[in-house]
């Protein structure tokens, strides 16, 4: 089962390495990983998407809590939450494909953020299935390059991950 784990971690060198090393040493896979500073510059928020049974996720959570740099760990997928991911995709846009690409971007509420004579760079934000659906709607031969940020998540309502 897929889980989204958010953690507050001290913003210092080597912290990311220790978290990823924990996953690596125990054979747990990280599907996606995002890290950025919080409003408190001494802390970073890390969002890890991983898969495993409830027992494995509990084990991961316990191991993360043992790391000195980790301040707080929450499996935000246990309750209502919001997930978003950013994708930038460069596509070939010439001839009849140019107008079709614009229509497809409009349908998915994407933005064309760079235009050349032969290509578009399209920015799309949403959950993973929306981004996957956009890629599925495009002729694979037109895709020149894709980059995705990984999932960011936040609990809905009163749930907050803060000190």
| Whether the Cβ atoms of residue 26 and residue 63 lie closer than 8 Å to each other | yes
- The dihedral region occupied by 95, where left means phi > 0, alpha psi between -120 and 50, and beta the remainder, is left
Which pLDDT value is given to residue 159?
86
DSSP symbol at 103: H
pLDDT confidence bin for 81, thresholds 50/70/90 = very high
The predicted-structure confidence for 29-66, as pLDDT tens digits, reads as follows 999 999 999 999 999 999 999 999 999 999 999 999 99
One fold for both 2-79 and 82-154? Answer: yes
Pairing label, strands 81-92, 143-148: antiparallel
Q: Which of 64-73, 138-147, 154-163 has the lowest mean pLDDT?
A: 154-163
Domain 82-154, CATH class in plain words? alpha beta
Q: How far apart are CA 30 and CA 48, in angstroms?
A: 7
- What CATH code is assigned to 2-79? 3.30.70.260
For the chain, the structural domain boundaries read 2-79, 82-154
The predicted-structure confidence for 138-155, as pLDDT tens digits, reads as follows 999 999 999 999 999 999
DSSP symbol at 26: H
């Amino acid at each position: 089962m897929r889980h989204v784990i958010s953690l507050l971690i001290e913003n210092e060198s080597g912290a990311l390495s220790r978290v990823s090393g924990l996953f690596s040493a125990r054979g747990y896979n990280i599907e996606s990983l995002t890290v950025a500073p919080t409003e408190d510059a001494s802390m970073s928020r890390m969002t890890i998407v991983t898969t495993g049974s409830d027992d494995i996720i509990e084990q991961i959570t316990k191991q993360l809590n043992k790391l000195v740099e980790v301040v707080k760990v929450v499996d935000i997928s246990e309750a209502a939450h919001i997930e978003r991911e950013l994708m930038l995709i460069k596509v070939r846009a010439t001839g009849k494909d140019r107008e079709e690409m614009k229509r497809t971007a409009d349908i998915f509420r994407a933005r064309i953020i760079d235009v050349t004579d032969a290509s578009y760079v399209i920015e799309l934000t949403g959950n993973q299935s929306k981004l996957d659906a956009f890629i599925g709607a495009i002729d694979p031969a037109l895709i020149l390059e894709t980059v995705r940020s990984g999932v960011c998540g936040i609990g809905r309502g009163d749930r907050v991950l803060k000190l």
